[in-house]
A and B are shown apart, each in its own frame.
Chain A
């Protein structure tokens, strides 16, 4: 699936919920299911500091594609991180670098990406793209 096909799939999943609580319970569930990172990979190099919670992000290449792994201390952020990974991980650096993320807005979670200081998610998206750009140049 392309990045946009995955985004559309997530939007469809969220369309099933008409209550905010159902939406958040789904995100919390995804957060709990995300494997996260082993402690030794939660390094200063991988950290994206937010004012309230931090995110750790790791990237490596498998074949032609870029694989992301990430973790957070807060479960809602972790759920959102899980969706970002689902959308972007496993694609070529070019696709990732050129992608436009619209699903967060469409599922009504844009406020989590607007609060730049509070959770590090904006920086995480930026960092994912930076990895993609860097790997493109390699």
Chain B
């Protein structure tokens, strides 16, 4: 099992300047990719270029800079459309990230079309940002929230899902991939079954888009949200896909500039899609740079990225399981490159603090999934999540680090 077979790892690592540094005198190992990935120089340059040459407010300017900024902003919309497999750019709304996309759907579609006595289904694998917006909506409208349970391997219990579905269910919102465990959920099946009872489906794609090929039309997803910063793009920007008919029926999210057609003090008519949902000056620079991130992934090949990450996950899992007292949390058959684990008698935070001193960055804690941690009766986990620039040697550093940590805490 050699790395060079799949990707040119040295070339890729050279694209990420942040990786070339020492922490506490040791070469940085960055394994917190599920929280955010590092940015390639192409993305950093796109941001720099935008501010150095093209900065202007978009859409209504008639001067050259405004034209360039608008062209590049809209070029990203087309790139995102292609990336998600959407039918039209009208279905791509720029947001500040996944959380924003979910809140948009809860506040507009949810408030307008879901009523007292109706039901919403989420799952036990959800991040807090795919729980709380629905809880807020449920509280406001008298809607019941139901939860698909998680089995011991960290997979959704689809039999219970079948039982939860009824004509009362108006919306199902689940993640495509679990951030805490890496489980890939059978979203195509979840969507088909929800549609059979007339419910719409929102997919939280935050953890999926950097690992899997997404085709919203094939999935038949009604809404799909993701964040740029988890796929080598900038922070503070993301996109929400929504089926055109649904987006058209939905009321606007925020009022302001850009989202209007005509404003009088008596009445305002709203702009057409997707601008109806993009009030105010958007995050232009980061949207422009998002395209560079998508192009970067394509330049390596998304299948190659996935294969490389799978190789790292397999190797890491094998090595981790050899550590005495270590237990993997999340052993789903289908999972992305996330290794979440606990070590008997050791608090995850102690592991994280000591690994940091050894130059290894992991995430510890509940990963914003407190109900899921409760399900496994644990305080939290240590999570190592891998990206395209990670190496076998870095996994070895983690393993050696864990042995050292165990010794120090013994």
Contacts from A to B (Cβ < 8 Å): 20-21, 24-25, 28, 51-53, 73-77, 112, 118-119
Residue pair B408, A28 in contact (C-beta under 8 Å): yes
Residue pair A20, B365 in contact (C-beta under 8 Å): no
Please name all residues of chain A whose beta carbon is closer than 8 Å to the beta carbon of B408 when the two chains form the complex: 21, 24-25, 28
Please name all residues of chain B whose beta carbon is closer than 8 Å to the beta carbon of A53 when the two chains form the complex: 347, 349, 379
4 closest residue pairs by CB, A with B: A74-B347, A52-B365, A74-B349, A52-B349
Q: What distance in Å separates the Cβ of A50 from its nearest Cβ neighbour in chain B? A: 8
Q: Told that A74-B350, A118-B349 touch, could you supply 20 new A-B pairs with CB distance under 8 A?
A: A20-B24, A21-B408, A24-B353, A24-B408, A25-B408, A51-B365, A51-B366, A52-B349, A52-B352, A52-B364, A52-B365, A53-B347, A53-B379, A74-B347, A74-B349, A76-B349, A76-B350, A77-B349, A112-B353, A118-B365
Scoring A52, A76, A119 by chain B CB atoms within 10 A of each residue's CB, the highest score goes to A52
A119 and B364 CA atoms in complex are apart in Å by 12
Please provide the chain B residues from 328 to 360 with a CB less than 8 Å away from any CB of chain A in the complex: 347-350, 352-354, 357
Q: Given that A21-B408, A75-B409 are contacting pairs, would A52 and B354 also be in contact in the complex, using a CB cutoff of 8 Å?
A: no
Q: Which residue of B lies closest to A112 (CB)?
A: B353
Please name all residues of chain A whose beta carbon is closer than 8 Å to the beta carbon of B365 when the two chains form the complex: 51-52, 118
A14 and B408 CA atoms in complex are apart in Å by 17
List the count of A-B residue pairs having beta carbons below 8 Å apart. Answer: 41
A73 and B345 CA atoms in complex are apart in Å by 10
Residue pair B349, A119 in contact (C-beta under 8 Å): yes
A53 and B378 CA atoms in complex are apart in Å by 12
- Is B380's CB within 8 Å of the partner chain A? yes
Please provide the chain B residues from 357 to 388 with a CB less than 8 Å away from any CB of chain A in the complex: 357, 364-366, 379-380
- Secondary structure dominating the interface of A: helix
Among B350, B352, B366, which residue has its beta carbon within 8 angstroms of that of A75? B350
Q: What distance in Å separates the Cβ of B403 from its nearest Cβ neighbour in chain A? A: 13
Please name all residues of chain B whose beta carbon is closer than 8 Å to the beta carbon of A75 when the two chains form the complex: 347, 350, 409
Please name all residues of chain A whose beta carbon is closer than 8 Å to the beta carbon of B357 when the two chains form the complex: 20-21, 24
A119 and B379 CA atoms in complex are apart in Å by 13
Please name all residues of chain A whose beta carbon is closer than 8 Å to the beta carbon of B409 when the two chains form the complex: 28, 75
Q: Which residue of A lies closest to B356 (CB)?
A: A111
A72 and B286 CA atoms in complex are apart in Å by 41
Q: Given that A21-B408, A24-B408, A51-B365 are contacting pairs, would A76 and B24 also be in contact in the complex, using a CB cutoff of 8 Å?
A: no
